[in-house]
Amino acid sequence: MPGEAGPLYSCLGVQRVSPVFCQKMMDLYGANQPYWIRFLDYLKVMFTFNFGYSFASNQAVTYEMVSSGKLFNTLELLGTSTVLAIMIGTVMGVIVSSRRGSSADSFLVTASLTTFSLPTFFIGILMIFIFAVALGWFPSGSTHPYTWDLVGVGLTPSLLAQIPIRLQYLFLPALTLTLFSYGGFLLLTRATMIDALSEDYILTARAKGLSERAVLFKHAFKNASLPLITNAALSIAFILSGAVITETIFNWDGLGRWLYTSIGYKDFPVMEAMFYIIALCVIAANFISDLLYGIADPRIRYE
């Protein structure tokens, strides 16, 4: 029949495509080349961050990641929640370690264990129900309001006016991730601080008449911070992966939601790019944490 494309079959993971399209895909990705040429092309792509084109949007993956604002949105959400979780969890862990066995210690440990054990989708739905549905204080999702004029052209507010709007849409997803993450830092800080507070130099510091704040933060916390550095570095390393579940629940246009939709579309270039960048961030975070060890602990020296 005229216009018939021939039988449809699977090619490079794309379901039900024509033979002509499949041949173009094979030529584009070099599947017909020898193995050593494909390996060299693979190394070239890794170093140049040329991840190909998205199957869903037909745009370059790197260009779509940066130009669409997905990278900025994820850095905004995950960066805010991670920094808040580290600060809140660390400070509260130091405080409860000095009051071991008290009612405040029991309450904060129980609360952190509860929020740390609950899944993020449950916390997110609960936050939406309380603050968006019941109280109506914050929007339930998206990264910004969709404002249109009478002719269908988007109205872009000024930069100064965008800040409170962005904060309103950022609050609920950031609160969800902070509640989920801070408990791990609190429990780890508490455990390392309890070990440090049992050392002899803490008894000596208190015998010299130092204040309890100086004993906790200047002496004990400095020696107990090495595991915290590792945990914080790895947490920051996974920022670019995005909180997949949280971004999907709140319809946050970031890398996590992009990765979730790419799995449904079987958009392999996007998935490969995301996993590769996550791996690079983990390697860089381990390297940076090793450097910070020497700053936090003078006993560690690198030759």
Inter-CA distances, 270 with 33, 70, 239, Å: 23, 12, 16
- What is the pLDDT of the chain when averaged over all its residues? 77
Share of the chain above pLDDT 90, in %: 0
**The pLDDT value given to residue 297:** 64
The CATH number of the domain covering residues in 65-147+154-296: 1.10.3720.10
Confidence of residue 11 (pLDDT cuts 50, 70, 90): low
Which stretch of DSSP H or E encloses residue 144?
none
Mean pLDDT of 162-183: 85
131-144, pLDDT tens digit by residue?
988 888 888 877 66
The pLDDT value given to residue 26: 73
More confident residue, 159 or 64: 64
Which two structure tokens, joined as six digits, stand for 167?
Answer: 């904060």
Asked if residue 204 has pLDDT above 50, the reply is: yes
Task: Look up the pTM and report it.
Answer: 0.74
| pLDDT, average across residues 34-60 | 81
pLDDT of 152 strictly over 50: no
Sequence-ordered alpha helix ranges (H) in 68-136:
70-97, 103-117, 120-127
Name the more confident of 142 and 10. Answer: 142
Of 184, 214, 186, 190, the closest CA to residue 202 belongs to: 214
* Domain map (residue ranges) of the chain: 65-147+154-296
Terminal C-alpha separation, the chain: 75
Query: How confident is the model over 63-81, as pLDDT tens digits?
Result: 888 887 788 888 888 888 8
Q: Say how far apart CA 193 and CA 181 lie, in whole Å.
A: 19
At 2, the pLDDT band (50, 70, 90 cuts) reads: very low
